[in-house]
Amino acid sequence: GFKSRVTVVGSGNWGSVAAKLIASNALKLPSFHDEVRMWVFEEVLPNGEKLTDVINKTNENVKYLPGIKLGRNVVADPDLENAVKEANMLVFVTPHQFMDGICKKLSGEITGEVEAISLVKGMEVKKEGPCMISSLISKQLGINCCVLMGANIANEIAMEKFSEATVGYRESREIAETWVQLFSTPYFMVTAVHDVEGVELCGTLKNVVAIAAGFVDGLEMGNNTKAAIMRIGLREMRALSKLMFPSVKDSTFFESCGVADVITTCLGGRNRRVAEAFAQSGGKRSFDELEAEMLQGQKLQGVSTAREVYEVLNYCGWLEMFPLFATVHQICIGRLKPEAIVHYREHKA
C-alpha cells in the first residue's frame, strides 16, 4: 500500500526534537516510510565541517541539540527543494521570521496530495494585515495546514520527559489524527482540537507574555507579580484571539497550547531568560545583542511578535484594550523602562 513520506523543514532546537519524535514513529508505523528528511539551513561549524555532514555522520545536531541522537533514519538535507520533493507530509518548524522566504522558495514546487503542519510560533504582518504562519503556508503552497503547539520546551522533550501538546485543525479530523499518530509517544501526549486559529494564536501570543515574565524576574518582583502577569497575559491572549477570529473557542485556552504553554514558557523559556537579562541591564543592552550572546544561534520569537502584535493593535485602534501587550513592545524598543511592566495603566496610549 501507499506509504507516507515525511519531511521536516527546519532543524533548530525544536525542529531537531520534532524530527526525533517523528523518526521514532516512522520506524514503528507501517503506513510511513522509515526515512525522515530534515531540511537544514546549512552552516559551517568552527571546525570547518558542514552542519549537514556532521548530522548525517553522528546522527546528532551538534549545534542546536547536542548530546541527543535523532534516530538513524533522519537524513539531513541542505537543499530545500530537494528535501520536500518526494514528501507528502511536510512539517514546518523554523523561527517565524524565515517562513515567508521559505514559502516563496517553495511556491510552485509542491504538487500532488500534500498535507502540512506548522510548529512555528509567530505571525506575519503584511500591508493587508496579519497572517498566521499556517495561512501563509496554505496560501503560498496551496495546501491544507494544521498546527501543533503546546507546553513544549524542546530540551525537556529531547530527554523524553512527559509533556502534552495540542494539534489544531481546520476541517479534516482524520488528517489531524494522522498528525497525532505521527507525533505521539508515551512521553508526548497529543490531543486534536477543531480550532486552528485558537491553537496557533496561543502559541504565538504566549511569547509576548513570556517577555513580560522575564522583565518581572529581572526586576526581582516575585511570584505574585509573575502570576498576575501570566493571568493578565492569558486574558489578553484570549481577547485578541477572539477579536481576530471570532470562531476561537474558550476551551482551547485550557489545552496544552494555552495555559500550560504560558506557564512553562514563563518559568523556563528562552524568551523569559533573555528578557530577564534585558531588565537586569536596565534596558541598556539590546535584545539582538543578548540573543546572540545567550542563545548561540537559537532565535527569540517574543520580541518580534510583540512588535507585530503592536502593529495590529495600533492599526485596529485596540491599543488601550491590550495594555500588557502594548507595554511589552514599548519596553523592548526602549520607549518605556522595564519597570513599566506593572505600571501599564498609567502609560496607556
Positions marked catalytic = 206
The DSSP element (H or E) to which 39 belongs, if any, is strand 32-39
Span interacting with ligand 13P, options 34-42, 65-73, 261-269, 283-291, rule CB under 6 A: 261-269
In the structure grid, which three cell numbers stand for residue 256, read together? 496544552
CB of 163 to ligand NAD, least distance (A): 10
| 41 binds ligand NAD, rule: CB under 6 A | yes
Q: What angle, 0 to 180 degrees and rounded to 10, lies between the N-to-C axes of helices 223-244 and 261-268? A: 130
The number of beta carbons lying within 10 Å of the beta carbon of residue 35 is 16
In the structure grid, which three cell numbers stand for residue 243, read together? 477579536
Residue found under cell 511570584: 223
Residue 297 carries which DSSP code? T
Tell me which of ligand 13P, ligand NAD, none is bound by residue 210, counting a contact when its beta carbon lies within the kind-specific cut-off of 5 to 8 angstroms. ligand 13P
Whole-number Å distance between alpha carbons of 269 and 263: 10
Site mask, ligand NAD, residues 138-177, x = CB under 6 A? --------------xxx-----------------------
Whole-number Å distance between alpha carbons of 331 and 324: 11
Whole-number Å distance between alpha carbons of 70 and 21: 8
In the structure grid, which three cell numbers stand for residue 120, read together? 512555528
CB of 124 to ligand NAD, least distance (A): 12
Span interacting with ligand NAD, options 115-123, 188-196, 241-249, 307-315, rule CB under 6 A: 115-123
Span interacting with ligand 13P, options 22-30, 72-80, 145-153, 183-191, rule CB under 6 A: 145-153
CB of 174 to ligand 13P, least distance (A): 26
Chain positions 276 to 335 lying near ligand NAD, rule: CB under 6 A, are 297-299, 301
Which are the contacts of 278, defined by CB distance < 8 A and separation ≥ 6? Answer: 214, 215, 218, 285, 287, 290, 332, 338
Tell me which of ligand 13P, ligand NAD, none is bound by residue 261, counting a contact when its beta carbon lies within the kind-specific cut-off of 5 to 8 angstroms. ligand 13P
Which CB sits closer to ligand NAD, 4 or 97? 97
Q: Which residues pair with 77 in a beta bridge?
A: 39
Q: What are phi and psi of 132, to 5 degrees?
A: -70, 155
Residue 5 carries which DSSP code? E
Plot region of 107 (φ>0 → left; ψ -120 to 50 → alpha; else → beta):
beta
Residue at 16: amino acid letter: S
| 264 binds ligand 13P, rule: CB under 6 A | yes
CB of 153 to ligand 13P, least distance (A): 5
Which CB sits closer to ligand 13P, 140 or 271? 271
By CB under 6 A, the count of residues binding ligand 13P is: 12
Contact of 294 with 206, CB cutoff 8 Å:
no
Chain positions 146 to 205 lying near ligand 13P, rule: CB under 6 A, are 151-153
Site mask, ligand NAD, residues 75-114, x = CB under 6 A? ------------------xxxx-x----------------
Chain residues binding ligand 13P by CB under 6 A are 121, 151-153, 210, 261, 264-265, 269-271, 301
